Chain A
């Protein structure tokens, strides 16, 4: 049973790793780099918190 579990672990790892690589490729070819890297630090903070005492 443990040996079978070990093979199952390899199988799951390979399938999920391939899925992530596929999704990565799909996202990078669908969206522009400007959109993907458009996150800015503290954006919500700047909108919602004025730091007034």
Chain B
């Protein structure tokens, strides 16, 4: 008992309270955002070539890049002001209201948990493909990925994101090495873009193919908004979050452009659109065993980094719901020694394992993308309300994004196009998911909200919004 009391004293920061630990800097924010996303360059984006051809994959790379630049700018402004775990959930709670916040938190948990599942399946399948051993299944590798990363997250956020920084940097550098190894300045030596992408096959399905390609174009950047989940654990949220998020977005735009250029110059679009390993295949096609093995390892590291960041983010969103009693407050426990939301991490662990063992990659990816796009649609509305209720000058912002309301309008329009693209490919899943969120909203409104301490949930020391 004496030990317990001593531990309590040495591990709390606000009297007898246990809080998440503020130890992160901009590099960790970068590692969280880019770590979650970079796996999309190693698999996922290339399915857009199957929908609309190689040129469509490039067009959506740019246009979806615009969508995510808007996301990063909007997110940076709001999060630099609402610096709380839960990210977009905390934003929605303060700016729109509890029902929107509850839905946004579910979008976040679904998007990140399903992305974690996809990463684990990808990692398992990649190892099985490399081994080529009969009877070897991916289950053990999936289990190890999810459990080891959950353990890492359980033990502390600083080590978790230090690991993410290192493995994300290695995976990123491997793309740069591949790019410069194929003499990108000399067409014809290794790269054959002018032979593989011709006016005849650049857009095989015309412009409707470009629209359809949006569904998988999201994979170039899906998850960069996850940086906001670290808001309560960064030392200087107003500086670190905008800096880390914007640096991450710039990094990803460069990686996406290099990835498309190398892959489209080495593989015909018919193959590029169906392979699960575009960058690993590109490494093989160079004929260099060193590059092949480097890209194999980088694919594994990218999947690990993404799953690691997803566990971090999903747990914080779930933890925030518990802290506000939108879910039982039992989930809001913080580990007194490691300062992590340990019950949320442990609760989501078997759910991720179950989905990883029973779902296939396509289903998991689709659920993740759908939840992500729902969240982006909310963000475009959220920033309009934020600027209207608290105009510039009324509260202190760590970052103010330029050209408002243009980024919000661009983001909303691109979300509508992406919904249409998803409807073309996965219409029934889209309708089922919207129905699920509608029903869960009814449950929250008519049953769960009675348990919420209504005054306690709004914590930002802001003036009253304009018009209230």
Contact = CB atoms under 8 A, between A and B. Distances in A.
Given A45-B84, A49-B396, A12 B147 contact: yes
Interface string B134-162: 01110011011001101100100000000
A37 B332 contact: yes
Nearest to A28: B333
A38 B18 CA distance: 6
B268 interface: no
B395 A51 contact: yes
A39 B17 contact: yes
Given A16-B148, A17-B147, A46-B459, A7 B336 contact: no
Interface stretch (B108-116, B287-295, B323-331): B323-331
Contacts of A17: 147, 349
A3 B460 CA distance: 54
B460 A42 contact: yes
A16 B346 CA distance: 12
B461 A50 contact: yes
Contact of A13 (B143, B330, B333): B143
B8 A35 contact: yes
Interface string A22-53: 01100100110101111111111110011111
A20 B133 contact: no
A27 B342 contact: yes
A21 B131 CA distance: 33
Contact of B462 (A19, A20, A23, A51): A51
Contact of B335 (A12, A27, A49): A27
A45 B333 CA distance: 20
Nearest to B394: A53
Nearest to A52: B396
B212 to A, nearest CB: 38
Contacts of A6: 136-137, 140-141
B150 A20 contact: yes
Interface residues of A, number: 36
A36 B334 contact: yes
Contacts of B349: 17
B365 to A, nearest CB: 23
A23 to B, nearest CB: 8
B148 A12 contact: yes
Contact of B144 (A13, A20, A23, A35): A13
19 contacts: A12-B144, A16-B147, A17-B147, A17-B349, A20-B150, A20-B151, A24-B346, A27-B335, A36-B334, A36-B336, A37-B330, A37-B332, A38-B19, A38-B334, A40-B17, A44-B22, A49-B396, A49-B461, A51-B462
Interface of B: 4, 7-8, 12, 14, 16-20, 22, 83-86, 90, 127, 131, 133, 135-137, 140-141, 143-144, 147-148, 150-151, 154, 232, 237-238, 320, 322-324, 329-330, 332-337, 342-343, 346, 349, 393-396, 459-463
Interface of A: 2-3, 6-7, 9-10, 12-13, 16-17, 19-21, 23-24, 27, 30-31, 33, 35-46, 49-53
Q: Which 10 A-B pairs have the closest CB atoms?
A: A42-B459, A9-B144, A2-B131, A36-B333, A38-B17, A9-B140, A13-B147, A6-B140, A13-B143, A16-B151
